[in-house]
Amino acid sequence: MAGSNVPSISAFSAYTGVRATVMGLGRFGGGVGAVRFLSLHGALVTVTDLRSAEELADSLASLKDIPVARFALSGHPEDVLSDCQLLVVNPAVRPDHPLVLRARSLKLDVTTEVALFLRHNPAATIAVTGSNGKSTTTALIGHLLQHAYPEFAGSIRLGGNIGISLLDQLPAMRSEDIVVLELSSFQLAQLRREKFRPNIAVLTNFSPNHLDWHGSESDYRRAKQSIFDAQTRDDVAIVPDDADEWRIRSTKFCFGLADGGQDGAFLETGMLVLRSGSHEDAVRFDVPAQLPGAHNRLNIAAAACAAWLAGADMKRFSTALQSFRPLPHRLQLVVETAGRQFWNDSIATTPESAIMALRVFPGRIILLAGGYDKGQDLAEFSREIKSRVAAVVLMGQTATALHELLRDASSELQIRIATDFSEAFECAVAFSQEGDIVLLSPGCASYGWFRDFQERGDLFSAAAKGWSPN
């Protein structure tokens, strides 16, 4: 893979004196990264966010050494576009937001943090998206490139939706580097205008999600499709082996858990098969214990395919992954106390991801489920709960809907609706007995009760570590 040229200092000096507005500072690094980058390269930056200064305390603290021209918080006043030349929009802001539409009508340069980075990125790019598993797959690709590519002369740089802004790394980046970007549907919807073209594009899976933001499944699918749209035959697309509905102009590779003869990566029992045309390799492979479940085996297969095509040595993959540490809140064993295991899967914000977590455990499960309503169909999730769960504690907006789906006079499933998280946890442990799995895998977004999925997972982990049967 080859990137473009190293960005010149003059490319960054072009921001000197530019009046820029960052719309949505947020708490996950992207907004902060854009503010720091633009301010340090001479732009006059205004920051606007719907949240208050108190809610954004951590992000604001990280900017205390940066000369920000203006903070307009607790709302988006129209005058933030006064004299504005560049508008950097947080991915969570819908493209039809009145302020964004006004900026476009004024012919302003409207972009996002990740698009701003890509304008100057000199390196080859591996981009990862999907409804579930994209953060883990992104981290796995980075880990394999770091630990199974000893001849690599550049640097591996992870960023994007995984919570890392790469803007501050641009001055040091070279064309020999490899960027691994996790991209959400929100980011891809906005990158569509930029005709983003990754060297390797990975789609982990697809199921309807974020319909409250996209408005329809077709719009959500169109956002995911855009990761492939600007690619050519010189590029690579990696998709699940059962995904035939995507328009792909680049060279297609598949991944799965059974070798069907396609080009790609297939992780069968004890064996990893990698194939490209007439070239085929197979090596023995041990799945790390810290990555349980079929969904993680699929993540590994997708990551192995991307890392292999980028030049990593497949013979080193199995050993390399033994040192991989899963990202927090992703089917993470928190603690084992009084014969109960407490698992934090707060990242499971879709029914599909929660279903995959439920299928990992053969024993009794006490489940904490529910949350913010994104407009998803919960019927299959409820069926899986009834077939695999001994007791469930329901939370948030979707609690009532899930309760209606779960009510069945013939079922032995114990159900409780909680009014807050403390009650939810107490009910879950009250239902539990020795040998049980107490699992936070909500299948819904966190908003309402929690600031984000991280806060939800942190509260669960703290409660689990502090719990004892006495």
Secondary structure of the chain as H, E, C letters: CCCCCCCCHHHHHCCCCCEEEEECCCCCCHHHHHHHHHHHCCCEEEEEECCCCCCCHHHHHCCCCCCCCEEEECECCHHHHCCCCEEEECCCCCCCCHHHHHHHHCCCEEECHHHHHHHHCCCEEEEEECCCCHHHHHHHHHHHHHHCCCCCCCCEEEEECCCECCHHHHHHCCCCCEEEEECCHHHHHHHHHHCCCCCEEEECCCCCCCHHHHCCHHHHHHHHHHHHHCCCCCCEEEEECCCCCCCCCCEEEEEECCCCCCCEEEEECCEEEEEECCEEEEEECCCCCCCCCHHHHHHHHHHHHHHHHCCCCHHHHHHHHCCCCCCCCCCEEEEEECCEEEEECCCCCCHHHHHHHHCCCCCCEEEEECCECCCCCCHHHHHHHHHHCCEEEECCCCHHHHHHHHCCCCCCCEEEECCCHHHHHHHHHHHCCCCCEEEECCCCECECCECCHHHHHHHHHHHHHHCCCC
**Per-residue confidence band for 163, with pLDDT thresholds at 50, 70 and 90:** confident
pLDDT at 76: 94
**pLDDT at 26 exceeding the cut of 60:** yes
CA distance 372 to 447: 5
374: pLDDT confidence band, cut at 50, 70 and 90? confident
Q: Where does the chain hold its CATH 3.40.1190.10 domain(s)?
A: 116-321
Q: Is pLDDT of 327 > 90?
A: no
Residue range(s) occupied by CATH 3.90.190.20 in the chain: 332-466
Q: Of all residues in the chain, what percent carry a pLDDT higher than 70?
A: 97
Question: What is residue 134's predicted lDDT score, i.e. its pLDDT?
Answer: 95
Please give the pLDDT value at position 365.
98
Class for the domain spanning 116-321: alpha beta
Q: Decide if domain 332-466 falls under CATH 3.90.190.20.
A: yes
**Taking 70 as the threshold, does the pLDDT of residue 362 lie above it?**
yes
Residue extent(s) of CATH 3.40.50.720 domains in the chain: 13-111
Predicted local distance difference test score (pLDDT) of residue 3? 67
Do 71 and 53 touch, CB atoms closer than 8 A? yes
> Which stretch, 6-10, 162-166, 401-405, has highest mean pLDDT?
401-405
How far is Cα 2 from Cα 197, in angstroms, rounded to an integer? Answer: 13
Residue 150 scores a pLDDT above 90: yes
| pLDDT band (50, 70, 90) for residue 5 | low
Instruction: Give which of 376, 431, 430 is closest to 405, Cα–Cα.
Output: 376
Mean pLDDT confidence for 328-337: 94
Please tell me the predicted confidence (pLDDT) of residue 411. 75
* Residues constituting the chain: 470
The pLDDT score that the predictor gives to residue 2 is 64
Q: Pairing relation of β-strands 437-440 and 340-344?
A: parallel
pTM: 0.88
Q: For residues 453 and 441, give the distance between their C-alpha atoms in angstroms, rounded to a whole number.
A: 11
Cα end-to-end distance, the chain, whole Å: 58
Among 21-35, 156-170, 372-386, 436-450, the range scoring the smallest mean pLDDT is: 21-35
Q: Does domain 13-111 have CATH number 3.30.470.10?
A: no
- What are the Cα distances from residue 64, in Å, to 52, 57, 61, 202? 16, 11, 5, 37
pLDDT at 201: 98
For 126-153, give one letter per residue: b (16+ CB within 10 A) or e. Answer: bbbbbbbbbbbbbbbbbbbbbbbbeebe
Confidence of residue 7 (pLDDT cuts 50, 70, 90): low
